[in-house]
Structure formats: C-alpha cells, structure tokens
C-alpha cells in the first residue's frame, strides 16, 4: 500500500485471511541515487491464493457451468487456492442439487473451500415437487417447506432454513445426498 511518494507498507509474505485477495507479497525497492524517487515493484511471495467469488445465479442459467467458469483452471492450480464462494439469486431445485454435488466433489481439489449460500434462494415448480412425491406425507412436507420459505412476515433466518430443508429433502429423495 502506498502511503506517500517515498513510504509504502510492504504487505505480508503469506496472507492469513480473506481480507485481502491473492497471494502474499513483498516489495522490491530500487534506489537509483540520492533523493531519487524509489522504484517499487511487488513480488509475489505467498504460497496460498486467498480468493472470494461472488456468484449471482438465475433459474435460466446453468449454475454448475457458472460455478466452473469462475474457478481457476486445473486441479494443480487449485491446490493452493483458499476459496470463499458466495452465491446469491434464485435457482431451481435440480440446479441447486447439482451445484451442491459439484462443489462437494471439487472441494478436495482446493486448499480450502467455503460455500456460502445465505443469499441463494430456491425457485420451485410443480415438477420439482412431483420429483419429491406426487402425494402423501412427503409431498405435504415439501409443500409446507416451500410455503415457509416464501412466507410473508417470516424472518430471513426462518425462510433460509425452510429453503435449505426443501433442498435437502429433494436431494435425499433423489438419492444425491452426501
């Protein structure tokens, strides 16, 4: 960080949290002579790349493809990546299940992967509820969770819990749980 024309904060050789993105750095300073303005270049020294990805999703897009497009190429490049993925928007139940499955499958490729879905809500259509059950207790449970996730006047936490429960029920019934 540049403090003035002649004063800099050098950074840290290895970062230790998501506050600053990227790898740790130090500064290489060249002085061409007395009273000369220093030439300063950043030199990457850190092993771990602290990255945050904000992914806004819509029901029309392929959530898995959007996730993969936001990642560094190849598992070798991911080994030293510490990633916090924050999702927002709306997606359908099948997309959400597929996204959660791909994230769980890819997580071991990363040094660390945190999936935050606080801002992601599930859009549900009759076909999605039919995939859970056409009738009976499971269907009633699915419809109740769907209504609770959209209930006016309910707290944000309660809606998120109902939304997550509906997603888990869908994944469980389709046999895609981990």
Q: Which region, left, alpha or beta, applies to residue 89 given φ > 0 means left and ψ of -120 to 50 means alpha?
A: left
Q: For residue range 18-37, what is the model confidence (pLDDT) as tens digits?
A: 777 778 888 888 989 998 88
- Kindly calculate the radius of gyration of the chain based on its CA atoms and give it in whole angstroms: 23
Q: How far is CA 145 from CA 64, 129, 138, in A?
A: 24, 11, 11
DSSP annotation of 48 reads: -
What pLDDT was estimated at residue 176?
Answer: 62
What pLDDT was estimated at residue 89?
Answer: 94
**Number of residues written out for the chain:** 178
Look at residue 92 and give its three-state secondary structure: strand
**Percent of the chain whose pLDDT exceeds 70:** 97
**Please, what is the Cα angle at 88 between 63 and 81, to 5 degrees?**
70
Enter the tokens of residue 82.
Answer: 């510490």
Q: For residue range 78-124, what is the model confidence (pLDDT) as tens digits?
A: 888 899 999 999 999 999 999 999 999 999 999 999 999 988 988 88
Distance CA 82, CA 12 (A): 17
């Amino acid at each position: 960080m540049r403090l003035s024309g002649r004063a800099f904060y050098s950074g840290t050789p290895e970062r230790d949290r998501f506050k600053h993105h990227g790898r740790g750095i130090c500064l290489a300073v060249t002085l061409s002579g007395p009273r000369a303005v220093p030439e300063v270049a950043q030199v990457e020294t850190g092993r771990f790349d602290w990255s945050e990805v904000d992914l806004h999703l819509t029901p029309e897009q392929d959530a898995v493809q959007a996730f993969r497009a936001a990642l560094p190429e190849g598992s070798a490049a991911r080994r030293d990546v510490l990633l916090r993925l924050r999702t927002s928007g709306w997606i359908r139940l099948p997309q959400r299940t597929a996204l959660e499955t791909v994230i769980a499958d890819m997580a071991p490729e990363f040094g660390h992967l945190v999936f935050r879905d606080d801002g992601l809500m599930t859009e549900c259509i009759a076909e999605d509820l039919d995939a859970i059950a056409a009738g009976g207790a499971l269907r009633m449970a699915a419809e109740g969770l769907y209504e609770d996730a959209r209930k006016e006047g309910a707290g944000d936490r309660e809606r998120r819990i109902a939304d997550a429960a509906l997603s888990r029920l869908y994944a469980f019934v389709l046999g895609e749980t981990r």
